[in-house]
Amino acid sequence: MHRLSLLFAVGMFPLVGCAEENARMAAERFTVEAPPVPAETPAADLAFSTREPGVARDEPAPGEDKAPEPGITRKVIYDATIDLVVQSVDEAIRRVGELVEQSGGYIAEQDMAGSPGSKRSQRWKIRVPIEKFESFVASVSSLGELEQFNRKSQDVTAQYYDVDARVKNKKVEEQTLQKLLEERSGALEDVLKVEVELSRVRGEIEQLQGQLRVMENLSALATLTLNVRERETFEPPAPVVADFPTQVARAWGDSLRDLVDLGKAVTLFVVGQVVWLPFWIAGLLLAWIIGRRLVAAARVPIRISVGNPPSPSAGEGGPNP
């Protein structure tokens, strides 16, 4: 009995060893070893290092802002409006000119309104480089009391590069048409059609390039509309506002100038009519003669002859006895 148990145990040892070897090989076959993580990998990259195969690493995670592609510059149009109340418009004009010169911009429009005894106002439309726009706005806002500030921006990056891509495609089309035109294959009618199409494509290229230039200009320089008005009414210095005696003297001088101007006008009229003087004399003489004849004709009396009535016997052959 003991001999049979020993033989059975000796026979099972190989079987158990084979089973363990098969299990170990199966485990190695289905075990996926995780890739080693470099020591300098940041925590943010470590969190997404276990993404599925086939997904590019440069894809942003949910909630992350996608970085702009290399070689693409953002095109943003900035526009702002500032309303200020100042003590003196003249001082504001001087300071705004200095700030514009320091920023490297220029004044596109400038309007002034007001008169002595009223509140003057000044309006500027200023173009300033984007990189100095913030500092320029801060400097301008400190010139007086800020009443209103409005700022807006428009991102035209997508529109800009869309137009740029259309320009490139149109240029390729232009080159193709130019090549066909140089070969001059086909009938004359076909050549004329190619020329018409080439002219159309070139016109579209010029229009698109004009749009690019406009967007480049608007995005390179920000636009600021500055409105400034005085707090008090404008009272100019004494030499500007004349006193009453000065006003009387000016009125007298103006009247004399008007009189002189009238004399000059009459003299010029008379001199101009000298050439026509013989015609005026002849016409007046003819009118005088005709008038006299009409008057004389009107004064001649109308004579009516009234005779004696005939006698009744006159018709019987003789006078009555």
Give the residue-averaged pLDDT of 230-239: 65
Token reading at 95? 């300071």
Helix (DSSP H) and strand (DSSP E) numbers for the chain: 8, 5
21 burial type by CB count under 10 A (0-12 exposed, 13-18 middle, 19+ buried): exposed
Residue at 315: amino acid letter: G
Three-state DSSP class for residue 241:
coil
CA separation for the pair 68, 157 (Å, rounded):
11
pLDDT for 66: 45
Token reading at 276? 């026509």
Give the residue-averaged pLDDT of 290-298: 85
Q: How many Å separate Cα 62 from the centre of its chain?
A: 41
CA separation for the pair 47, 282 (Å, rounded):
118
Give the residue-averaged pLDDT of 187-206: 85
Looking at the DSSP assignment, which residues form a beta bridge with residue 106? 127
DSSP 282: H
pLDDT for 150: 92
pLDDT for 127: 93
Residue at 74: amino acid letter: R
How far is the CA of 121 from the CAs of 87, 113, 149, 226, 295, in angstroms? 11, 5, 17, 11, 75
CA separation for the pair 226, 120 (Å, rounded):
14
Q: How confident is the model at residue 75 (pLDDT cuts 50, 70, 90)?
A: confident
- Nearest 5°: the CA angle 5, 8, 13 is 130
272 pLDDT higher than 70? yes
pLDDT for 197: 87
Give the residue-averaged pLDDT of 74-102: 90
* Whether domain 76-155 has CATH 3.30.70.260: yes
Question: For tokens 């106002």, what's the residue?
Answer: 121
240 pLDDT higher than 80? no
Using a pLDDT cut of 90, give the percent of the chain over it: 21
What's the distance, Cα to Cα, between the start and end of the chain in Å?
230
Phi and psi at 260, nearest 5°, equal -60, -40
Looking at the DSSP assignment, which residues form a beta bridge with residue 144? none
Task: Look at 62 and 318; give whichever has higher pLDDT.
Answer: 318
- Nearest 5°: the CA angle 125, 75, 222 is 15
**Is 75:157 a contact under the CB 8 Å cutoff?**
yes
Could you tell me whether strands 76-86 and 221-230 are parallel, antiparallel, or unpaired per DSSP bridges? parallel
Q: Where are the domains of the chain?
A: 76-155, 157-219
CA separation for the pair 15, 12 (Å, rounded):
5
Question: For tokens 């500032």, what's the residue?
Answer: 82
CA separation for the pair 257, 1 (Å, rounded):
158
- Identify the H or E element spanning 14: helix 2-30
Listed in sequence order, the DSSP H helices in 106-243 are 133-141, 157-183, 188-220
Token reading at 85? 């109340």
- Identify the H or E element spanning 17: helix 2-30
111 burial type by CB count under 10 A (0-12 exposed, 13-18 middle, 19+ buried): exposed
CA separation for the pair 116, 236 (Å, rounded):
6
